[in-house]
Structure 1
Amino acid sequence: MKTVLFAFVLEMASFAAQGQQTSKPTVPDPAKKIQVVDAACGECQFGMEGKSCDLAIMINGKSYFVDGTSIDEHGDAHAKDGFCNRIRKAEVQGEVVNGRFKASYFRLLGDKKKKISKK
């Protein structure tokens, strides 16, 4: 019985692992407009209401929390040049849905490291 249970748990774990996204394309969609925006911690830099430090962007003077990438995917938010201490420029693609920016591409400008993009 233990063998059957172990096999079942192992099988479920393999299904869960296969469902994980392993890589994200780093190339923007050429059919969509790339916008250059201000990016920072919404709470610390843009004065947005929230429970913790979260990535946000500002488009035309209005700030939006970002879905599709997180503040932690772009380094230490509390470092000297981190999002909680500094507003940075980023290239983005996506759309505002229900008051949040749904990013399909996000890349910090002046930063050579890989950033997120997903389709």
Structure 2
Amino acid sequence: MKKTLFVLFLFIGIATQAQDNKTKEKPQIVEAACGECQFGMKGNGCDLAVRINGESYFVDGTKIDQHGDAHTKDGFCNAISKASVTGKIQNNRFKATSFTLIKEK
């Protein structure tokens, strides 16, 4: 009986760990900028976009102005930056669950 319970708890622990590993997103480094100003995307103003594997996507989950003034010399409208992001591409948009701008040294 003790062995059966041990095996059962062991199986539950392994299954839970496997499920946790599936749901954790791995961050990736992408190019980030204003989609209209830097990536040539069609839009209605200055909107944050990322470029992943050569394809550009507008971003949902964060806004361009949450990362500083987009119109400064090194802002998103005037320069392409690097960002560490997690999320997924859905309906031709990047749904960000995290977005961290990488500061140049």
TM-score normalised according to structure 1 size: 0.67
Q: Give the count of matched residue pairs.
A: 82
Report the CA distance between 1:71 and its aligned residue: 0.2
Are 1:31 and 2:24 an aligned pair?
Answer: yes
Are 1:61 and 2:54 an aligned pair?
Answer: yes
- Runs of 4+ displaced beyond 2 Å: none
Report the CA distance between 1:110 and its aligned residue: 1.6
Report the CA distance between 1:33 and its aligned residue: 1.1
- Partner amino acid for 1:80? K
Structure 1 unaligned spans of 5+: 1-29, 112-119
Aligned pairs for 1:9-28 within 5 A: none
State, as a whole percentage, how many aligned pairs show the same letter: 65
Are 1:73 and 2:66 an aligned pair?
Answer: yes
SS of the residue corresponding to residue 48 of structure 1 reads coil
Which digits, 9 at most, give the CA deviation of each residue in 1:2-38, with x for residues without a partner?
A: xxxxxxxxxxxxxxxxxxxxxxxxxxxx921111000
- Distance in 2 (CA, whole Å) between partners of 1:105 and 1:90 is 10
Are 1:84 and 2:84 an aligned pair?
Answer: no
Equivalent in the alignment of 2:34:
41
Report the CA distance between 1:48 and its aligned residue: 0.1
SS of the residue corresponding to residue 66 of structure 2 reads helix
Alignment RMSD: 1.3
- Tell me which structure has the larger Cα radius of gyration: 2
Which digits, 9 at most, give the CA deviation of each residue in 1:50-104, with x for residues without a partner?
A: 0100000000000000000000000110001100000000000000010000000
SS of the residue corresponding to residue 65 of structure 2 reads helix
